[in-house]
Structures are given as C-alpha cells and as structure tokens.
A and B are shown apart, each in its own frame.
Chain A
Amino acid sequence: MTDAEIETGALKTVWFTAGPPPRITRLGVLAACLAALLLTLSLHLQAQTDCLACHADTSMQDSAGHNIGVDAGKFGSSIHGGLKCSDCHADIKEYPHPEHLKKVQCSTCHADQAAQLTGSVHADSKEHPCTSCHGNAHEIVVKSDPRSAVYPLNIPRTCGNCHSNNGMAQKHGLASVFPNYIDSIHGYALSKEGLLVAANCQSCHGSHNILSRNNPQSPTFKTNIPNTCGNCHAKIAADYFNGVHGKALTAGNKNVPVCSDCHTAHAILQPTADAFRSQSTPICGSCHKDKFSTYRDTFHSQLGSLGGYVQTARCWDCHDAHEVRPTADPLSPVNSANLISTCGKCHAGANKSFVQYQPHANARNRKLNPALYFIRLFMNLLLVGTLTFFIIHTILWLIRARYDQIRKKAAQGGKHA
C-alpha cells in the first residue's frame, strides 16, 4: 500500500463497506494506523467544511465591518487550500470561537521570508502586511500562476498600489515611480509584450529583502547597480567595466556614472529614441562641462538640440556609450586610427582630411585653436564694426532727414511748424 493509494481515499470505502471485523494481526495494526490517518484527513476536511458553513458567505462581516467571508472555491484552489483553517487561525480550538482572533502569523511557516522582511524597508508589518503584496490571504496562488499578485507581469501593478501618485509612498515622501516604470522600455515590454523576462520591480529591488538604495548591501546601491543591471544586460555590463567609468568605479571612485545616471532608474527609454537622445547629452555634460560647452558650439549640437527626425552625433555616437575608452587607447573609436570609420558611420566618404575636423574646437581659445580664434575674432570685428558704423550713420541721418522734413513743411505752412 502506497501513500498515493491512501491519499486517494479509495481504501476508505473498502474498509467501511466490505471489510471483515479486524483481527489483531500485523495487517490489523497496519489497518489501525491507516484508520487513524484517514480519520485525521476527514477531520481536517470536516474542519474546513465546518468553518465554511458560516464563512462561505462572502459578504459576511464582523462587528467592526471587516469582511470575514471566504470564497470556498478560490480558497480550495489556492496554495493554502489543503490547510485547516486552524493551521493559520491557531487560536481557534472549538466552536463557537471567540469573536476577536489574533492576527495570523505567516512567519510561523514562512520564517525565512519573515526574517528577510524584518531587515527590509517594508519591515513594519502594520503598514506592509504580507497580504499587501500577496493579496487576499485565502486566495494566494503560486507566483508562477498568472492570477498571483506577484506573478512577474503583475508585480509592477502590485507595487504600484503604493508606489504611485496618490499611493501610500507619497505619504512617506517617496517618488511616484510606477508611472515612470510603466512607460519605460521595461514597462512596455512587460505590459504590452508580456515578456516574463522583462525587468519588473523585484528584478532590481529583490522581494522580501528590499533595502534602501543608501544601504551598501542593496542591489540598487550606486556601486552595485552595474552588476544588478548586468544580471540581464551581461554584455553591456562587461563593456561598461572595460570602459573608463567602470574601471574607475571598480577602483573605488563613486563619482562616476552608473547605468541609472544616464538611463534613469525607472523611466528608462529606448536609447535610440529621439527623446532619450535629446535628454542624455546634457547628462554627460553635467560632468564633462568643458566638452559639453565646445560641443554646443558645433553643428552637431545646434541641430541636435532642435529635435526632429534626423539624427546628429551625440556623445556616445563617437565615444561609445558603455565601453568609453580614453582617446589615446587604440580601441577607442575616437582614437585617430579609428576616426575615418567612426565619422564614416554618418558621413559617407569621410577621408583623412575630413576627420581632422574638431568636434570640440574652442574658437575662444587662442592657444588650442589659433586659426579658428582669429577667424572668429575677424568675423566679430567685422560684425560689430559694420553695425556700429551704420547704426550711428542711420540714426544721424534719421534725425537730420526728419529735421529737414519738418522745416520744409513749416516753410509751406504745414502742421509741423
């Protein structure tokens, strides 16, 4: 007799309908044990049935107005459907039970998760009971079930219940991140394409053990971010750590950009989208101020900042986005050996002389760019000189011509006497 056969309950019928009176044999001992087991099983079934005799009314309320009904069908098919009510509502020993019951302690069984939660930002169990994420305690299903509140595709909405405008997070002065996320490339992949592998909240933040980004243990702590994103974006993380920014980060410099400094944390856009291309040049410029200033003097920037459907070179089009290397490095796309192919990405026919163009020329610096400096000086003097002369010329002329006009009209008896 296997456990499986016992579990089916088929033997119960055999025992009670067709069985002969037991003799005390080895078989009898075995049968007695089986009977005890079956009795337990039926008791347990009975206990649920007993409770549901009242609580199956889903509109049932206690004196305080809380809903205390249980949807028997949903509970039965939930992951806890095989448990007795009293397994969780442990203070119920008999019927009738006391009106006020203790709060159910999920930690009795889920000790590991409870321990993780205790150290996390959601430690306060009054504000963040298990049900705030897992949903109705009687209807919890496994997280791989699409009905689960923590099914990957449902997680953002679940977290968004609090972390959105008008959500609970606002009360604590936290940013409303749900709208940012849901419009992001991750949110789009998740909500529109239904990609299970698309990053949802817990992909980066974890689930029970969520820590503040100021905590060095947190996957969203600045220095941990490249590895966190690298869990999915492995190639890009490898590129990043080969670049100057990644190397500096590894060396302990915290003033270098990590993924979220350019891509943002939640409102991550498709990097090839106009909106992202437009918003991110100033991000590089927020550290590389001198380079940004000279870039803004160029045609690339002038056109780029007007937006539109034609693309002009942004920082990473030439320098690479992740594997940023020093100009002197032969692997850098802006190393003089690679300029023809780098410029040639946009400028068909780029040649040796063409790539001598300086994308960061400073016409205000006589030492760095003498030719440009003097050309600009000449053009400015021409402009200021011509305009100054003619503005004086024109103003004097206006005054004199008007004076003559009035005098002539006065001589003819006009109004302007």
Chain B
Amino acid sequence: MPDQEQIQAQIVAPDGEQAPAPRRFFKRFNPGQRYMHAVLFTTFLVLAATGLPMRFSESIWARGFAGLVGGFGTILFFHKFCALALTVTFLIHVKDIFARAFVHREKGVFWGYSSMVANLKDARDLFGHMRWFVGLGPRPQFDRYSYWEKFDYWAVFWGMIVIGFSGYAMWFAPFFATFLPGWALNAALVIHSDEGLLAILFIFSIHFVNTHLRPGSFPMDMVIFTGVESEEEFAHKRPLEYQRLVREGKLEAKLGEAPGTWQLNFSRVVGFTAILIGLTLLVLTLSAYFI
C-alpha cells in the first residue's frame, strides 16, 4: 500500500526535519448521530437484558434476575419502555433521512460514497478484504462507510422493523388480530425471539470485535463517543474519503477539536460498561444453550 504509507509519512513528519505538528482531529459523527447511538445502545442493552430472561425463562439466571428485579412485571415494563424509546428514535432517524433527501435536497443520501446504501464497490470490498485476510491480495481502500459498517446499519434497520413489528403485534395482539390471521401471533413470538437473539449475538460478538476490539481500534473505537478521530486513524481506516477531501481541499472544513480528557474518560466508562454488560449477556445466552 504505497500511497497510504506515503500519507502516513506526510502526517507524521510533513516537512521532514521539523518537529511533528500537533495531532489533528477530524469530525466523523455529528452530535445527533452520537446521541442516537447512545440511545440505541442503552435501550438495546436494556431490551437484551430484559428480553433474554424471557427467551430463556427456564434457566436459573433468568429466574434469579427476574426475582431480583421483581418478576416479569418489572421486566416487561422496562422492555416495553425501551421499545417505545427505541421506536421513537428510529422514527426520528427515518424522518431525518427523508428530510435530508427531499426537503434539504441533500445529495448522496441514497447513492454515492457517503450513502449507507450498498453498491458494487461494497461487494468488491468484501471479496477483496477476504482475499487480504488470507494473503491473496492488497487491503481494499475503504470510503466513508465500509461494507461491514453498512451491514451493521442495515441489520439494525431491518431488525427495528422485524422485531418492532412482531413486538407490537404481541403487545397489542387483539388489535393486530383484526387484520392478521391468528397464526401470525404464533409466528410473532418465533420471529421476535429469533431475530432478537440474532441481534444480541451479532452485536455482542461481531460488532464489538469488528468495531471496538480489533487491532487498530482496541480496546475501543472512541469516534462514536467523541465524534472525532485522529488524522492517522482517518487516513488509515478510510483512505478514499481522506484522499478525496485532500484532493478537493475540503479536509480543513472537517477539522474538529481534540477530545477533552473528561470526554475520553466518560466515553471509556460508558463504553466499557456497555461492552461488559454485552459480554455478560453473551456468556449467559451461550450458557443457556450449552450448560
């Protein structure tokens, strides 16, 4: 990867002999996106922590946990409360997308390098990436959103619709039964519970490792908490976007402030708590199958 190493060299020592310039940080996520992620992972953790005991209601830990918090009345209350909060967040997000695309006429919402919509490059990146894993090719150059990030996004998007719809169908079963057949209510639990389990297993194993625990990001990718990432990280992880901004002279416009110590510490505490809860739930889930 010659061009990338050149960039790295430029960043570290722009003028060769001179002392290295102070590290620069560039904006990746705006506050709205960060708050959305915060609401998403908070409600997701509670939904997972309250949903798993219902799915594995025969296991010791499920009953212990239920007894501790006051039975399934409590569990169901928090599950429904977080479901509502997450639904509202989701609807706000969908509204924002449409507002950006159709009201503000923003380009690149549904297509192009900054869109979440998958394109041919993502398919090529997936195969290229896997060839690189086994040493058969160069590491692909990723743009603003890589294929696995898009997958994470659409997995949540699809999950929101599938889990949300099946959940509300159970919550307001007599109402849904006015236009759904009776067996759909049986199906709702199967779908809700399996899709929820997939989401939990995926987030707590794949997303955690891909985004936070892999070399290069370990122990945590702070960009979703602070909104900014360092120039080296930016250039290494998303070379196409970085180069485009340099080429078009728009890099300076993306310049952000270095995250404060309190912000980093706060993010670490929150992030590690979330990961710890997630991993605990993952172990409990697996224990329900294998113990």
Contact flags A291-309 to B (C-beta < 8 A → 1, else 0): 0000011110111111111
A50 vs B205: C-alpha distance in the bound complex, in angstroms? 95
Answer whether A379 and B215 are a contact pair too, CB < 8 Å, given A303-B76, A357-B182, A358-B182.
Answer: no
Q: Which of A61-98 contact B (CB under 8 A)?
A: none
- A298 near B57 with CB under 8 A, answer no
- B202 near A387 with CB under 8 A, answer yes
Answer whether A396 and B130 are a contact pair too, CB < 8 Å, given A353-B178, A380-B194.
Answer: yes
- B55 near A302 with CB under 8 A, answer yes
Q: Which of A301, A354, A401 contacts B174 (CB 8 A)?
A: A354
B131 smallest CB distance to A (angstroms): 10
- B133 near A400 with CB under 8 A, answer yes
> B62 at interface (Cβ–Cβ under 8 A)?
yes
For A393, what are the chain B residues with a Cβ–Cβ distance below 8 Å? 130, 133, 148
- B73 near A309 with CB under 8 A, answer yes
What is the chain A residue whose CB lies nearest that of B133?
A: A396
Stretch of A188-196, A313-321, A369-377 at the chain-chain interface = A369-377
- A401 near B215 with CB under 8 A, answer yes
> B118 at interface (Cβ–Cβ under 8 A)?
no
> B251 at interface (Cβ–Cβ under 8 A)?
no
- A349 near B186 with CB under 8 A, answer no
- A397 near B58 with CB under 8 A, answer no
Q: Which of A301, A361, A394, A396 contacts B186 (CB 8 A)?
A: A361
A390 vs B126: C-alpha distance in the bound complex, in angstroms? 11
* Chain A residue total in the interface (Cβ 8 A): 51
For B201, what are the chain A residues with a Cβ–Cβ distance below 8 Å? 383, 387
- A354 near B182 with CB under 8 A, answer yes
- A391 near B205 with CB under 8 A, answer yes
For B189, what are the chain A residues with a Cβ–Cβ distance below 8 Å? 297-299
Q: Which of A296, A379, A397 contacts B210 (CB 8 A)?
A: A397
Q: Which of A354, A361, A382, A397 contacts B173 (CB 8 A)?
A: A354
- A371 near B187 with CB under 8 A, answer yes
- B58 near A296 with CB under 8 A, answer yes
Q: Which of B55, B63, B76, B190 contacts A372 (CB 8 A)?
A: B190
Q: Which of B183, B198, B209, B216 contacts A358 (CB 8 A)?
A: B183
- B54 near A306 with CB under 8 A, answer yes
- A398 near B214 with CB under 8 A, answer yes
For B58, what are the chain A residues with a Cβ–Cβ distance below 8 Å? 296, 305
B29 smallest CB distance to A (angstroms): 23
A229 vs B44: C-alpha distance in the bound complex, in angstroms? 52
Contact flags A273-306 to B (C-beta < 8 A → 1, else 0): 0000000000000000000000011110111111
For A310, what are the chain B residues with a Cβ–Cβ distance below 8 Å? 71-73, 76
Give the 10 A-B CB pairs with smallest separation, nearest first. A308-B71, A356-B182, A354-B177, A379-B194, A349-B174, A306-B66, A396-B133, A306-B72, A302-B57, A310-B73
| 15 contacting pairs across A/B (C-beta < 8 A) | A302-B54, A305-B58, A306-B54, A306-B57, A307-B67, A309-B70, A353-B181, A354-B174, A379-B194, A390-B206, A394-B209, A396-B133, A397-B210, A401-B216, A405-B216
Residues of B within 8 A of A (CB): 53-55, 57-58, 62-63, 66-67, 70-76, 129-130, 132-135, 148, 155, 170, 173-175, 177-178, 180-183, 185-187, 189-191, 194-195, 197-198, 201-202, 205-206, 209-210, 214-216
Residues of A within 8 A of B (CB): 296-299, 301-310, 347-351, 353-358, 361, 363, 369, 371-372, 375-376, 379-380, 382-383, 386-387, 390-391, 393-394, 396-402, 404-405
